[in-house]
Amino acid sequence: MAEPIRRPVVVMTAGGLNPTIVVQHLARSGHDVHVLLEDPEGKGEITRRRARKLGWTAALGQLGTMVAARLLRRLADRRVAELLSLHSLERDLPKTIPIHPVTSINAADTTDLVEKIQPGAILLVSTRLMSERQIAAMPCPVINLHAGINPHYRGQMGGYWSLRENDAQNFGATLHLVDAGTDTGGTLYEVRTRPARTDFISTYPLLLTISALEITRHSIEDALHGRLSPKVPQGPSALRFPPTLWSWIWCGITRRIW
């Protein structure tokens, strides 16, 4: 017998507009959604981790792009408002959604909350990586909404990189199971779309999240009803990071890919 659709769904996130609209969509679809809101990672922590992997020059250049993208969000407000209006989405969570603050999705308090809520599915949207130990402790499938097509655009800013690599047909998003790697779990669904001329690095993630709302719902409902059918992602695999500030500006000026 299939699991009842009213079994709770836990969305884990560090906050922001993208997870907000995902939670809205799931709630409007009739799901009992609980939000576990983790403390976001600091930029210093992220930069040090990248420096250990890529070197300080690349890490600081990527930090510059992250800061610039945040500053440019004000320039993106018109496009953001247009997208939200077009899809009848709000900037705030419904007041009926329970929000549970946690220090990290990998913390013991998260495990305790999940045990108490007893969800039928867990969705990650804009979080730190879940540890292998924590994945094993979860009582149900853990799914990630990734703004990129796996495996070639794993990591961050997959939409931007697809355009930069002359691969606009793979400007899209992936729903996949979470494993110990970075966006390496089995693919559940993919969706592809096209950015408008007014889209740029600060609006690509929102556009991709909106495009993926329905496949996100399908993934959650598949998990609730025990019908997940993950597929091994095919093709070359590459882990992506934000572009360095100077390469982002160069590409914007020379190729109009911002």
Domains along the chain with CATH numbers: 9-255 (3.40.50.12230)
Q: pTM of the prediction? A: 0.91
> Would you mind telling me the total number of residues written for the chain in this entry?
258
Q: What is the pLDDT of residue 98?
A: 96
Q: What is the DSSP letter of 169?
A: G
Encode burial over 132-157: b for 16+ CB neighbours within 10 A, e otherwise: eebbeebebbbbbbbbbbbbbbbbbb
How many other CB atoms sit within 10 Å of the CB of residue 102? Answer: 19
- The answer to whether 72 and 88 have CB atoms below 8 angstroms apart is no
Q: What is the pLDDT of residue 41?
A: 87
> Which amino acid is residue 25, in one-letter code?
H
Residue 199's nearest CA partner among 224, 168, 231, 175 is 168
How many other CB atoms sit within 10 Å of the CB of residue 88? Answer: 8
Pairing of strands 121-124, 9-13: parallel
CA distances (Å), origin 32, targets 80, 112, 127, 207: 27, 19, 21, 25
Q: What is the pLDDT of residue 75?
A: 86
pLDDT < 50 regions, the chain = 1-4
Query: Can you tell me the distance from the alpha carbon of 193 to that of 215, in angstroms, rounded to the nearest whole number?
Result: 13
Q: Is the peptide bond before 151 cis (omega within 30 degrees of 0)?
A: yes
- The answer to whether 211 and 173 have CB atoms below 8 angstroms apart is yes
For the chain, the helix, strand and coil percentages under 3-state DSSP, each to the nearest 5: 45, 15, 40
CA dihedral 184, 189, 194, 195 (to 10 degrees): -60
**82 phi/psi in degrees, rounded to 5:** -60, -45
* Residue 80, helix vs strand vs coil: helix
